Structure 1
């Protein structure tokens, strides 16, 4: 049985699409876990020190500089604070939904109430919202 050119193209295209989606999910999950673990280490290190204000000013800045030199962008002080916040808000890594990306969580941790956060998490998953969709919904409802 011979496969038509279009059928072959469609079959190959679907395999590539599914593979890319799978790679994206795995990479995204790994990134979320990595950032959560970094946040955990920062919190644990911070808790061993007495002068918390000093910690934020010096240690995060120094850590950010070293990580940025070693790994490039993505490790500025702001993102390190987001990692720390993600651990505070989700102290159990399994609480992070695999359907959502780190960019979703960076936006969600800025919300002022846990109920709001849970609402937007559930809506994002149910409606398959990407980061821009989520941001648009949060901005729309906060007006």
Structure 2
């Protein structure tokens, strides 16, 4: 991606014709950092300014990382921005029991968030 002063290298960029939106993916080999969030936020803002055309929906930014600190997410732009997301990935598929446990954890987090 080229701006007025510099060239940036985004990991993956897609255009979803159904959503009518650009989707930027950043792949991180380690845990989520505030630098990663700032980088993705800047990429999304540049695409909104330089690439998006009338009729396009807002650009979506996704960070895939090995671990996600919920406190970092809570106090970053990820909490307020509906177009930026961070998610963990695994190098191996989880077992059925692990998936069931993770679903229950996510359900509990959603329940707490609604009650807050």
Q: TM-score by structure 2 length?
A: 0.31
Looking at CA atoms only, which structure, 1 or 2, has the larger radius of gyration? 1
Instruction: Name the structure where helix makes up a greater proportion of residues.
Output: 1
Q: TM-score by structure 1 length?
A: 0.27
Instruction: Name the structure where strand makes up a greater proportion of residues.
Output: 2
